[in-house]
Every structure is written in C-alpha cells, then in structure tokens.
Structure 1
Amino acid sequence: MRVAILGVGGVGQVSACELIKSSHVKKLVLADISIGPAEELAVELRRETDIEIEVKRVDARDISSVQAILNGIDVLLHIGLPENNFDVMKACLNTRTHYIDTASSGPQWLRKQLAWNDQFRAAGILGVMGLGCDPGFSNIAARYAVDQLDEVDAILIRDGDNSVVDYDGFCSYFSPQTAIQECLAKPNYWTAAKGEQYLPTLFANKEEFEFPEPIGWLDCYHVEHEEATTLGETIGRAKGCKYVDFKYALHPDFVNTLQVLRYLGLDSDEEIEVKGVRVAPRDVVVTSMPKPVDLAGKIHGYSSVGALVKGKKDNKRKDIYVYTIANHDEVFYKTEFQATIWQTGIPPVVAVDMIAEGQLTTTGCIPPELIDPIPFLTKLKARGMSWDVIEKTSPLLHML
C-alpha cells in the first residue's frame, strides 16, 4: 500500500505517525504547499521506519499539481482545507486513486461531493467524505448504535471538552478556518418530514448535556455540521428516525469572540483592500491565532465526541451513547500531540487499514456511516483510540 497525505499540519502529522506503524504501508508521501514542517517530520519518521518517505510541494488548488504526486499511489488522505476538496477529488479521479478527507466546507458542499458517486464508481475507486473524529468517528458511532435498535427516534451528535489552555487569546483546538466558518453558519438539522433544514439564528437551542466523567455537564450549542446532512437518510429513516442534529460545547468567551468577529465582518472570506493590499478578513484573524499543532502540551483536560441514539429495542425504550474520550495531557505524553487533532488523525488511518486488508472494498463516494462499524471500531481501539458505550433502558408506558 502506497499512501499520500496532502496537508501536513497537526492532523496530517498524526496520520503520518500512525501510518508508519502499518506493515502494509510501503511508501508514504508527505505533501503540502509549505514543505518545511513535512521535511522536519520526514526526518523524524525515517529514524523509526524503513518505509520509503518522500516530501513533495503541492498546491491543493491546482489539479495538475496534485496529480503529479499520485503516480503509483493507492490512497490519498486529503487533510488540508475543505475548500480544496473538489480539485483534489478530480485529481484522484484522473489517476484512479482512493480518496479520503476529514471535513467538507458545509452541508451543500458535502452533498455535491457525494454526488460524484457515479464518477468514482465508474473509476473503480472509493471516496470517503468526512472521516475524522466528528464528522467521522461520530458517524460510525451512530451507525453502531442504530444497528443495535429495532426503532430509532433521534440521532444526536455531541462534542464536548472541559479543558483549559495555556494561551491568553483567541484559539481553536482544530482548524481555525473551519471553526470560524461552521460556528458562524446557520445551524442545520434533519427531520423525517422535511429533510435537512436550517435554523435562522446562530448558537441556537443551547442545552446542558452530561458528557462521560470526568467531563460532566457542559453547555452545548446547535452548530452547522456534516452529520445532520447524511445520517437521517443513510441510516435513520429506515428505522423510523424523526430527528438528527449536532451540538458542540463552547466556552462563553469563545462564543462572544465569534459574535464580535461576525459583527465586525472579520469572519468574511471575501477580499478587501487595506492600504493597497487585498486580504480576506478571516485570513487575518486566522493568521493571528496559534496553529492547533502548537497547542500541544498547553491544553489540560478531556475531549469527548459521541453519538446518542434514542429508540426502542425488544419493546423497551433504549438510549445508546457511543463515545470516545481522551485526556490532552496523556495524549501529549504518549504522542506529543494534543487530543483533538490526535482524535481526528486516527480514523482515516483505520480506513487505510481496512482497504489494505480487503475489509473496505466498496467504490463510489460515501459518508463514514456506510463503513461497517464493527471492524472499524475494533481497529480504532487497536490503534489506541478507545471508545465505549453507555446504555439506558426503560419500559414503554401504555396509558389507560
């Protein structure tokens, strides 16, 4: 198996460090428009493995640039900016290379990516859209829970973190561009009656959600996310699911800062002229923020992502919560990464494992929940990313 990683930031580095542990990986290409970090990583990895490792400068916005590194490559992990997904997908189509990414630019763009299904199938290749932690693990956790129930009422994805960070300023534990974009987009949700819909206001429907200990109760806000785009139709509707949403635990200071950015227009990606130079306001904000990889060792607390599926089993009401939880300090001690990017970088590697071992043979473009959850979750745990299940049951009450 010959694998290329396009985008060697924090998540890409996590995936690279995991891939070299695989006996089936014979070659690894590290590609980025800025090759400095990739070259430093390559030096470190070559000390640990005999796998052939190459570093290539690639512009993900240029199809020919991406194609130039795909000769003989079996799988490409695109872990760069989601806005470049289509150019990278086109390069993979042209070279018949399996494609995996970790996020999309929003629900409408995810739907357009999945609409390439017939083209990917005709080329005999697989495209997995959004296989990080959430989306990604969250979708597969939801599928696992749905499979355990006879009927499903709701699928609720919840992301929470109780940590503090040694940084005095505005920061995000994952891609700042993505964090700003998705938190300031209209929140999406799905109902069986009307399909995918959008709320008119940001940070809507705040609720308290009890995450597994030692995190506990956190305030969660309704935020735009990929899971609500697909889960209802792919795995929910057949079992009677009526509702799907995603909520994210956000600190009040983070919410307030995002609201100020929106008020000032600093979340815009449309270029403006400043003293003779054209810049996108959001790029200025992002440039002033620390890179998520640089927060390693500075975050203290726990990160958890899970899918709560409510339904019925054997004529009893049953809630199944499938989740993963990680301690930032422990992850840093073991891997030198912070937990959020580590949790995002492991799932795409598991998909590579399954392709290499013949457990993921489908072609076309799919969301993560269409991957068989049992072998995936088994391999995920073998890679060191633990997950667990909480179940609650209650009898059905028949009113007289």
Structure 2
Amino acid sequence: MRMMLVGAGAVGESILKVMKWRDPKGEWLEYVLVCDFDQNRAQEVVEKLGKDCRFEAAEVNATDKEAMMRLALMHQIDFLMDAAPPFASNYIFDAAYETGINYGNMGTWSVPMDHPAYGLGIENSYTEPMTKYNFDRHEAWKEKGSMAVICMGIDPGVVNVFAKYAATELLDEITEVHVKDGGNLSVPGADPDDIMFGFNVWTVLDEVMNPNVEYDASRGGLLVEKPFAGREVWEMPDGVGQNTLVKVEHEEVVTMPRYLKQYGLQRATFKISLDENLITALKVVDKLGLRSIHPIQIGETEVIPRDVVAACAPQPKDIGDEMIGEMLVGVECIGKKDGKEKAYFLYQAFDNQESMKKWGSQAVVAQTGFGAALAIELIARGIWKDRGVFSPEYFDPLPYLNLMDESGYEYHIAEIK
C-alpha cells in the first residue's frame, strides 16, 4: 500500500504509529505521504516516527481537491486516508474517487438545518445527513472499480465490527444495538471548572450539539431530537463505574440498519458520557452563536465563529499523562438465541497512562487510531476488498477480531443477565 494521510493531528499521528509498529519491515505498508494544512505539523509527525524513509511530509489544504489529486498522482498513491476535520471529508472523498484510488475515513460530514423540524425523518432536520453523501455514490464507486470504507475508528468502527459479530455469531436474531461511549478519565488536582475536549473540537461541536438521531423501525425509521436527549445511567464493566450517557448524532444509527436489518435489527442508538462542565460550555457556545459555520464580519476581518472556538479550546493532543483512568467503548446487542432472549455487551477499554507510555497519545486518541490502523491493515493486505462504498459491518468481522487478538487491542464480550 502507498498511502496518503490527510490530517496529521493527534489521531492521524496515532494511526501511523500503530501501522509502523504492525509492519516494521514494510511487508504491506510501502509508503506514506503525511499531509497537513501545517507543513511543520506534518514534518513533526514524520520525525516522531523515527528514521523510516517510508514516511514523508507534505503541505495540503484538505478542502483543495485538485491539490490532493496532484499529490496522490505524483506519489503513486493507491489509498487515501482521511484524518482531517469532518468539514473536509467530502473534498477528500471526491479527490480519491476522481483519482481512482481507494479511500478510508473515521467519520462523515453532516449539516443540520438552522431550524430543525425534529421528529421522524432525518431529512427534515439535516440539509446533508451523515453518510448520505458517501452512500449515494456507491454505484459510481462500484463502476469506477474503487473502494471506500467509511467510519473506521473506534466508534464508529470497532463497535460496528462488534455488532456484526453479535449478529452473525452470538445471536440468531439481533433486534437492538446500543453503542455506549464512556470511561472514568480524570486529572487529579485539576481545577473543578476545567473543560476537557477529549476529541477533535470540531467533531465534538458537530456530534454533541447537532440534533441527535436514533433508528427505530417501529416508529418509522430515523428519529431526530434536541441535543442531550435520552439521558441514562449505565454501569460500565471492569470497575470503570457508572456513566451518565446522552444521545448524540453518530453514524452507527445509519450504518447498522443498512447492513444488519437482514439479521432482524429494529432499533439502534448511540450515547456518550459527557462531563457536566463540557455540557454547560457547549450550551453557552451554542446560545452565543459560536458554533456557526457562517462567516461574520468583525471590523475588516471575516471569521467563522466555530473556527475561533476550535482554535481557542483546549486541544486533545495537549492532554498528557497527568490524566488517569480508562476510555471504554462498547455496544449492547439484544436479540434471541435458540428462542431465548439474550443480551451481550462487547467492548474495548484503553487505559490512559498505559497509552501515554506506549503510544505517546492520550487514550481517546490512541483508541481511535488503533481501530483505524487495523482496518487499514485489512485493506492493505487485501482482506477487506470490494468495489463501492461500505462501512465495517459489510465485511466478515472475524479477520478484524483476529487482528485485535494478535495485536493486543484487547476486547471483551460480557453476557448481560
């Protein structure tokens, strides 16, 4: 594989570290062009990878399709990995398509209406619903002979594989899947008023503050509600403890019905644990109009409010090893086996201090990067292959789980009594 990575942020760096570790001799990873809007950042990541001539840095604007295409052709790229902020994903996706190369990402772009209708029908609350841009182009990619795999992180990503495994191996019929993203991360002695963004600030503003979405076949399909709906308390395993979760907009509620409906799926939700300080901050940002993507004029300068927030907010890459605890991401799968009701929780946990020690990245970042790196490996080795646009549930889950076992990306399956 000759890969071009667009977006050398914390997760992009994490992906490359895992890939280099998995293939130190270049048996399937021949070359990587590490691209970022900031040339210095791309070079910094390359230098962190040590003296390995497979990695080279370049500058590129992730919204400049033609520039990405030129780089891809110049360096004979055959796989384009999108690790940029979500607003750039469609440009990168199109650059891969027009160049005729394969593509991967960890999430998709969506645009809510200024005045969402809420209720039944995602199209009534979003001008561009998540994954639609990609899946609408499935036939075009198929005809082109190229493959795009979207949603390849931890969630979406690993949890999608878990759900497919539950549907095909653990249950005769799967009726519900509920993704739960939480943990018990904390910084001892931190100011109680501190605000922590565990992930890309743009992504947090999108996922959390966008109208949330769930899938319920009995109520007609995709249902849209206001942010922070569906609050529940969930006991995370392995001593992680109680998490208060809320629903957010997330791709799993669209991709899982697409591929798991044939196994009986009737309902899908995604919920995340959010710190109360972050919830309060996000509500204030929203009410002040600071999450807007529409430019405003300040004197002689035009700025996008969300860009200002993203630039000023604490950055995930700057959170160090002072943070303790674990990230724990899993999916509750409910259905029937041998005529009896069964429920399982399949999950992956990542300890922050171990992550900092081994990968130099905080747990949220490394967990996501690891999930994406294993999916890319399956593509590079020709195990995940087809023509068109897919998400991980499309593929046989066993090769991915085998890689998790082999690499020590530990996961657990717990039966819920």
User: TM-score with structure 2 length normalisation?
Assistant: 0.90
Specify the alignment match of 1:206 in structure 2.
231
Q: Match of 1:248, as an amino acid?
A: I
Specify the alignment match of 1:377 in structure 2.
401
Secondary structure at the aligned position of 2:376 is classed as: helix
Q: Is the 8 A contact 2:42 2:59 kept in 1?
A: no
* TM-aligned CA deviation for residue 244 of structure 1: 0.7
Give the alignment partner of residue 42 of structure 2, picking from 8, 15, 38. 38
- Cα offsets for 1:30-73 (capped at 9, x unmatched): 011101122122123242x3x42211111111111111221211
Q: Match of 2:103, as an amino acid?
A: Y
Q: Match of 1:131, as an amino acid?
A: M
* TM-aligned CA deviation for residue 350 of structure 1: 1.5
- Cα offsets for 1:353-392 (capped at 9, x unmatched): 2123221121210122112211012113333321110013
Structure 2: segments with no counterpart, 5+ residues: 111-127
- Mapped to 2, the partners of 1:178 and 1:131 lie a distance apart of 15
* TM-aligned CA deviation for residue 171 of structure 1: 2.7
Specify the alignment match of 1:197 in structure 2.
223
Specify the alignment match of 2:141 in structure 1.
120
Give the alignment partner of residue 83 of structure 1, picking from 81, 87, 97. 87
- Mapped to 2, the partners of 1:383 and 1:81 lie a distance apart of 28
2:40 is equivalent to residue 61 of structure 1? no
Q: Is the 8 A contact 1:346 1:383 kept in 2?
A: no
- Mapped to 2, the partners of 1:211 and 1:347 lie a distance apart of 20
RMSD: 1.6
Specify the alignment match of 2:206 in structure 1.
181
Instruction: Return 78-87 or 271-280, whichever deviates more.
Output: 271-280
Specify the alignment match of 2:377 in structure 1.
353
- Cα offsets for 1:16-41 (capped at 9, x unmatched): 11222313111111011101122122
Specify the alignment match of 2:11 in structure 1.
11
User: TM-score with structure 1 length normalisation?
Assistant: 0.93
Specify the alignment match of 1:257 in structure 2.
281
**Residue-pair matches, total:** 389
- Cα offsets for 1:319-354 (capped at 9, x unmatched): 111110011111101111101111111222212221
Secondary structure at the aligned position of 2:16 is classed as: helix
Q: Is the 8 A contact 1:75 1:352 kept in 2?
A: no
Q: Match of 2:380, as an amino acid?
A: A
Q: Is the 8 A contact 1:154 1:241 kept in 2?
A: yes
Specify the alignment match of 2:175 in structure 1.
153
Structure 1: segments with no counterpart, 5+ residues: 394-400
Q: Is the 8 A contact 1:346 1:380 kept in 2?
A: no
Secondary structure at the aligned position of 2:195 is classed as: coil
Specify the alignment match of 1:162 in structure 2.
184
- Mapped to 2, the partners of 1:43 and 1:185 lie a distance apart of 37
Secondary structure at the aligned position of 2:382 is classed as: coil
Secondary structure at the aligned position of 1:135 is classed as: coil
- Cα offsets for 1:80-99 (capped at 9, x unmatched): 01211221112111221110
Specify the alignment match of 2:125 in structure 1.
none
- Mapped to 2, the partners of 1:165 and 1:64 lie a distance apart of 43
- Cα offsets for 1:190-247 (capped at 9, x unmatched): 1123111211x22012101111122111110011111111212311x22322211101
Secondary structure at the aligned position of 1:300 is classed as: coil
* TM-aligned CA deviation for residue 132 of structure 1: 0.8
Secondary structure at the aligned position of 2:234 is classed as: strand
Runs of 4 or more, structure 1, over 6 Å off, are: none
Specify the alignment match of 1:20 in structure 2.
20
Secondary structure at the aligned position of 1:354 is classed as: helix
Quick one: percent identity of the two aligned structures? 27
2:99 is equivalent to residue 95 of structure 1? yes
Instruction: Return 162-171 or 208-217, whichever deviates more.
Output: 162-171
Q: Is the 8 A contact 1:145 1:321 kept in 2?
A: no
Secondary structure at the aligned position of 1:358 is classed as: coil
